[in-house]
Amino acid sequence: MKKDGIEFRVGDSAFYFKLGNILEEKKLSKNKLCQETGTDYKVITRYLTGNLLRIDTIVLARLCEFLDCEMTDIIDFKRNVYKKEND
């Protein structure tokens, strides 16, 4: 996994999905996260891979509460990552 997480490019900007980094750091499995947060396995997988159509704030809040982290620790958005210097 990349240091910044799984990258999903949007124009010149990018989302970074970093839940996998947190799970590795805390030595937690997806199954344990699902059980402890009451979140469906498929939903957790989407947050791990960045394969989301929309971000569910309730799920995100449960993850943050259980993992004792901030939203930006799980999903981050960086503007103009791909913007050329001369633009």
Query: pLDDT digits over 26-81, tens only?
Result: 999 999 999 999 999 999 999 999 998 899 999 999 999 999 999 999 999 999 98
- Please tell me the predicted confidence (pLDDT) of residue 82: 87
- Domains located in the chain, CATH noted: 6-78 (1.10.260.40)
- Please tell me the predicted confidence (pLDDT) of residue 27: 97
**Dist. CA 83–CA 81, nearest whole Å:** 6
Helices vs. strands in the chain: H and E counts, helices first: 5, 3
**Dist. CA 61–CA 56, nearest whole Å:** 9
Residue 15 identity: F
The DSSP H or E segment spanning 20 is helix 19-26
Q: Is 4 within 8 Å of 16 (Cβ atoms)?
A: yes
Whole-prediction pTM value?
A: 0.85
